[in-house]
Structure 1
Amino acid sequence: MSILTPTTTIADAFTSLLIGDLPFRFTAYDGSSAGPEDSPYGLHLRNERGLAYLVTAPGDLGLARAYTTGDLELVGAHPGDPYSALMQVKGSKTGLKFRTPNPIEALNIMRTVGITNLKPPPIPPQEHAPRWRRMMEGFLHSPERDAEVIHHHYDVSNRFYELVLGPSMTYTCACFPSEDATLEEAQFHKYDLVANKLQLQPGQRLLDVGCGWGGMVRHAAREYGVKALGVTLSAEQAYWAQQKIKEQGLEDLAEVRHLDYRDVPEGDFDAVSSIGLTEHIGVANYPAYFGFLRDKLKPQGRLLNHCITRADNKRTSTGAFIDRYVFPDGELTGSGKIITEIQDAGLEVHHEENLRMHYAMTLAGWNKNLVENWDECVAEVGEATARVWGLYIAGSRMGFVTNEIQLHQVLATKTVDGQSGFPLRPEWTP
């Protein structure tokens, strides 16, 4: 790598810190450019504020800040669905990784970008505080802190979620009965799969923790005659779910409370479903979490845990962008860890299933909805938030397609004295 001179352009400074070749076209407001001219995708740095974001937070976080504010523009792809552009970067030999400059390079880059750009611009309001600062606001995964981070992500706008998620208002992996099934059909099929794995019967009682907008609660009540209780830390979700329950005339069977799952007083449930909550719990809290769910079950009761996992059991972090912009305090681990903790809590595991590609298809549907409803989404939450969601959904889709992350359902029973109530073969079609 040659030493930069004081006359270096912004494009030269940008590419000099890359590890490997630039996998797309890069242009900047000073007229400089770099990267393949025939690339279908590119990034355009629009102004000095965007440059300051990149300089003061090198790597993913600086890119996310500049992109969120619109100072860094994606060329060739809709901001509601940048999946193809991300896959082009992913498919290159080196991706998009930066190195630390040596002292001489750093000095010359400072001369190029200007001393004023070394002062960090205001952090976009969509960005959550760093984890170390959140520690000052409450212990990790305390009820108060969990309530705050759930509010940050889920209490955006119920109308926005309707536009992105579709009529089902289901913010978890669907299960596609066929490749040409619609997203709504796949979400219904997912709820039916969970109900069948739990072997729900009329008159039984179901607890759905982290119930979101009440999709599983309403499905169990409407389709199976089950008395279902759902709890969520999101006030917006609880309000929407309560209104929908009334609208569908399910008040006698379905209930959604704005409540921490740890504060549910009832017990002796026939079944417990946890669909998309484990990601928020924290790996260190798994023993208490699965122990709590076990204690809510009657003997031979069933637990269905549905959550995003890593492809291995080695890491738990979600990365800076996800932690600061999407799921603060979220942690992911492998399905092996999930199964181990469920077993160590005293539950008997009978079945597990990986729905990785189903989540990739689900996310593609959400990206499509976001693009088709882009103007209304922007009017509802602002362009910066809509950009975050487009990037997050597409990035997550890429993670599932490339097998960096997976989605596992684990079915277990509260077996007592060797009696699980589980048949010799599953009742549903695996």
Structure 2
Amino acid sequence: MANQQDLDFTYTIIDKIFRLSIGESGDYSGAKYDGDFTMSLEDAQRKKHKFIADSLNIKDGSKVLDMACGWGPLSKYVTQERGATSIGLTLSVGQAKACQKNGLNVLVKDCRYIQPEDFGTFDAIACVGGLEHFCSIEEWKAGNQEKVYREFFKTLYNLLPMGGRFYMQTMTFSKHMVGLEDIDINAKKGSAAYLCALMVKEFPGSWLPYGPEMVIRNAEPHFKLISKSSGRLDYIETIGQWRKKFRKFNLKKYWLYLSLLPQYLTNKKFRHQIAIFRVSPNRACFEQEIMDHYRLVFEKI
């Protein structure tokens, strides 16, 4: 799994830039347009939050666990709009501090190992984008990817009552994914081999599931699938809207960009890692169907 250092690079280093671009509780995961790309990014993210809350039957008084909570947009929605209580978990110190500053109950803790004795049980659990970081390349090479997912669903089983629901949103590899041996940062720019190499640099310690089927079969026999939908096209639009916001001028934000320049000039690895600011490898991977994106709703049985 991606460790705290890995996730601190991916998320903490862009914390201030992100909040200046997207907002204090902005959502750094695919929005829900459902084909209506005239919607604003904010409305599409709110639509997603409503979909999650409705799918999980979250209501006044519900106790919700927000795994891999990011900057807390879902926690904010369920507490303010549904009257629920929420505990958010992240491995990014920057994200946790930002959430706490904004009045959200967020802790730095590995959500894979939560037990009932930590916070009790929950009426509903969501994990938006977290699964993408649960399995490392090394774990995949060792043949342990499905074991990682099975163990995670056992954790969820212990945290939910019978009939309790779990929402997962995750990127997956798709039909044009290349083999690990072909991934090469020196490959032709724009090729699958090059784009996947950038993704590995951007998200160290992380390896995606091979399609939603891998996730679904490892949820059994503890959970049944309630709904499944692809958000690939929605994510392509979301990334396009993010890029506009990241590029929009803000003096403080551009000063932060400049502060990264010395490291950019002297550290080749760092240059690859922050390539997301000039090229979007995940968007290109969605467009070329190297990757897909799924919303999955499970119920404990």
TM-score (normalised: structure 1): 0.57
1:274 to 121, 127, 138: 127
Tell me which residue corresponds to 2:234: 358
How far apart, in 2, do the equivalents of 1:159 and 1:311 lie? 32
Tell me which residue corresponds to 1:153: 10
How far apart, in 2, do the equivalents of 1:391 and 1:337 lie? 32
Tell me which residue corresponds to 1:235: 93
Following superposition, the deviation at residue 231 of structure 1 comes to: 0.6
One-letter amino acid of the counterpart of residue 210, structure 1: A
Report Cα offsets for 1:142-167 as digits up to 9, x if no partner.
Answer: xxx61111111111142201234345
Tell me which residue corresponds to 2:54: 196
How far apart, in 2, do the equivalents of 1:313 and 1:321 lie? 16
How far apart, in 2, do the equivalents of 1:350 and 1:149 lie? 33
Tell me which residue corresponds to 2:245: 369
Tell me which residue corresponds to 1:257: 107
Aligned residue pair count? 261
Residues 184 and 322 (structure 1), Cα distance of their counterparts in 2 relative to 1, 3 Å cut:
same
1:79-118 equivalence runs, <5 A: none
SS in 2 for 1:212: coil
Report Cα offsets for 1:82-114 as digits up to 9, x if no partner.
Answer: xxxxxxxxxxxxxxxxxxxxxxxxxxxxxxxxx
How far apart, in 2, do the equivalents of 1:395 and 1:404 lie? 10
Cα root mean square deviation, aligned: 2.3
CA contact (8 A) 2:12 2:93 kept: yes
Following superposition, the deviation at residue 378 of structure 1 comes to: 4.1
1:10-409 equivalence runs, <5 A: 141=1, 146-166=3-23, 168-176=25-33, 178-245=36-103, 255-261=105-111, 262-263=113-114, 265-282=118-135, 283-284=145-146, 285-312=148-175, 319-324=196-201, 326-332=202-208, 333-344=210-221, 346-373=222-249, 376-381=252-257, 382-383=260-261, 384=264, 388-392=275-279, 394-409=280-295
The range that moved more, 290-299 or 367-376, is 367-376
One-letter amino acid of the counterpart of residue 380, structure 1: L
Unaligned runs of 5+ in 1: 1-140, 246-253, 416-430
Unaligned runs of 5+ in 2: 136-144, 184-195, 265-270
Identity %: 23
How far apart, in 2, do the equivalents of 1:296 and 1:315 lie? 36
Following superposition, the deviation at residue 376 of structure 1 comes to: 4.7
> Does 1 or 2 have the higher relative contact order (CA < 8 Å, sep 6+)?
2
How far apart, in 2, do the equivalents of 1:257 and 1:170 lie? 18
Following superposition, the deviation at residue 240 of structure 1 comes to: 0.6
SS in 1 for 2:240: helix
Residues 243 and 368 (structure 1), Cα distance of their counterparts in 2 relative to 1, 3 Å cut:
same
Structure of larger gyration radius: 1
Report Cα offsets for 1:304-344 as digits up to 9, x if no partner.
Answer: 111011224987858332222x1001111211111111124
